[in-house]
């Protein structure tokens, strides 16, 4: 299980690289309108799509009542988790906590080359998620800003099998510790208990604080 986020991240990077050429002709436009850095004054729209800010509902806030603050020390990333969640893994490139009944927060970091086209790649992730949405694999896609950083958020549709995994995912790029990094957060459960955990999963995601 602990290797899954790294595999997923690398697959997504390959997909993004394959799609990158599609956006080369509009690189300057994308760079101006979709910078990942907070100093750019993050736009309210990327193309025709709005950029939403993390604003938890009352139910999502309540789901983290008396929660614990946990920090991924190696990467300077912090979340608020329900008090009963426990640490499974915390390494330089992988971080995982679990609820004990099948809900997980998984963070992964992948170092990229310093000249990697991050804006174009992120646009490719967004476009790829839109295609998956049309195919029925994803039921929510949006640009979502967490702690001043704009990224792509998408939620997989309910799986056919009750024990199939359903994921809420957010991805971005940042400069940290001298690296260009792909930052990937996955919050997941089995399909049959996703609704039960949904408020806390969104609450955890919206609580994200990260150095950038």
Q: How far apart are CA 36 and CA 106, in angstroms?
A: 21
pLDDT at residue 41 in the model: 54
Label residues 17-41 b or e (16+ Cβ within 10 Å = b): eebbeebeeeeeebeeebbbeeeee
pLDDT at residue 31 in the model: 40
Number of domains in the chain: 1
Domain of residue 38: give its range.
4-210
Label residues 94-107 b or e (16+ Cβ within 10 Å = b): bbbbbbeebbbbbb
- Burial (CB count <10 Å: 0-12, 13-18, 19+), residue 73: exposed
User: For strand 179-190 and strand 104-112, is the pairing parallel, antiparallel, or unpaired?
Assistant: antiparallel
**Three-class SS of residue 208?**
coil
Residuewise pLDDT in 10s, the chain (212 residues): 444 444 444 444 444 444 444 444 444 444 433 334 333 456 688 988 999 999 999 999 999 999 999 999 999 999 999 999 999 999 999 999 999 999 999 999 999 999 999 999 999 999 999 999 999 999 999 999 999 999 999 999 999 999 999 999 999 999 999 999 999 999 999 999 999 999 999 999 999 999 98
* Residue spans of alpha helices (H) in 96-179: 118-134
Strands (E), 91-206: 94-98, 104-112, 138-146, 149-156, 165-176, 179-190
pLDDT at residue 43 in the model: 65
pLDDT at residue 44 in the model: 87
pLDDT at residue 136 in the model: 98
Q: What's this model's pTM, rounded to 2 decimal places?
A: 0.83
Please tell me what DSSP assigns to residue 192. G
CATH code of residue 98: 3.40.1000.10
Query: In this structure, what token pair is assigned to residue 16?
Result: 């993004």
Identify the CA nearest to 155 among candidates 173, 178, 132.
132
* Geometric angle at alpha carbon 77, from 76 and 81, rounded to 5°: 140
Query: In this structure, what token pair is assigned to residue 119?
Result: 């804006």
pLDDT at residue 212 in the model: 82
């Amino acid at each position: 299980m602990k290797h899954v986020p790294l595999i997923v991240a690398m697959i997504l990077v390959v997909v993004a690289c394959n799609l990158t050429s599609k956006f080369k002709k509009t690189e300057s436009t994308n760079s101006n309108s979709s910078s990942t850095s907070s100093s750019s004054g993050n736009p309210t729209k990327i193309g025709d799509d709005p950029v939403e800010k993390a604003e938890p509902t009352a139910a999502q806030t309540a789901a983290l009542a008396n929660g614990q603050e946990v920090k991924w020390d190696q990467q300077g990333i912090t979340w608020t988790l329900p008090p009963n969640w426990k640490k499974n893994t915390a390494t330089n490139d992988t971080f995982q906590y679990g609820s004990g009944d099948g809900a997980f927060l998984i963070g992964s970091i992948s170092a990229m080359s310093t000249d990697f086209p991050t804006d174009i790649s992120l646009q490719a992730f967004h476009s790829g998620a839109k295609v998956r949405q049309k195919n029925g694999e994803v039921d929510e896609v949006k640009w979502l800003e967490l702690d001043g950083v704009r990224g792509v958020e998408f939620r997989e549709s309910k799986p056919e099998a009750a024990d199939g995994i359903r994921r809420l995912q957010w991805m971005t790029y940042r400069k940290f510790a001298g690296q260009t990094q792909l930052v990937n957060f996955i919050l997941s459960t089995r399909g049959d208990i996703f609704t039960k955990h949904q408020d806390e999963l969104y609450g955890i995601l919206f609580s994200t604080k990260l150095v950038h």
